[in-house]
Amino acid sequence: MIKISNLTKRYGHQPLFKGLHLNIARGSVVTIIGPSGSGKSTLLRCVNGLETFQAGFISVNGQTQFGTDEQNYNKAQKDRVLKNIRKNVGMVFQQFNLFPHMTVLQNITTAPIHVLSIDKAEAETYAISLLKKVRLEDKAGSYPSQLSGGEQQRVAIARAMAMKPEAMLIDEPTSALDPEMIDDVLCVLKALASDGMTMLIVTHEMSFARDVSTEVIFMDKGEIIEQGIPHDVFFSPKYDRTKAFLSRFMR
């Protein structure tokens, strides 16, 4: 579903990714853990074209974007590829990014109507079904400012699902939430995983990563240090850096 090959990214002369490789199978739930500043969120943003990269390529469901230094790089072609990727891959951000002047229903239906040319009535019917999934069907007429942080994040997930994506990129979905709101959001993500949605999730919620993932990746300083099934990464890590990081959570 997602293939990342030889990904190289620099900020000026400062390298972040130096030839990173990653394959994500359709229907898998891959969580990325690691310390702040390790490149986890930047990796997601590269997949969705929100960050440029210099070398290698990222292919999503057959749509391939090349690094700016690659011979195959073409700006016009990349714009077309990214348009197709964004139609098929939903993105959920840390800070919700809902339109404050729109109701919950309008937030969810705007992209399907204007990007996918779906009839308004059909888009609204589907939006209501998604709100039921995230247990917010009574909030359709509310504005973001009238919702709690956890409710806003669940609306953001419903908005991403409204495009009927084949995969979801989810960037630290609980980092901006109060502790009592976290479980509500994680329950929604667990339901998506049960439905077979392909997901790449950056998270600091270790128990969630352990329970939901088909594969866990530990990143540090722009490198994939360790990768494997949850039991192996959490209970039998191979590398000292992984052990040191997890020791803070596994006591």
pTM: 0.92
CA 130 to chain centre: 18
Q: What is the pLDDT of residue 13?
A: 86
Instruction: Kindly report, residue by residue over 178-235, the tens digit of the pLDDT.
Output: 887 888 889 999 999 989 999 999 999 999 999 999 999 999 999 999 999 999 999 9
Q: Which of 133, 135, 118, 124 is nearest to 195 (CA)?
A: 133
Q: What is the pLDDT of residue 96?
A: 85
Indicate the pairing of strand 89-92 with strand 223-228.
unpaired
**Cα–Cα distance measured from residue 199 to residue 169, given in angstroms and rounded to the nearest whole number:** 6
Residue 25 has pLDDT above 90, yes or no: yes
Instruction: Kindly report, residue by residue over 112-121, the tens digit of the pLDDT.
Output: 999 889 999 9
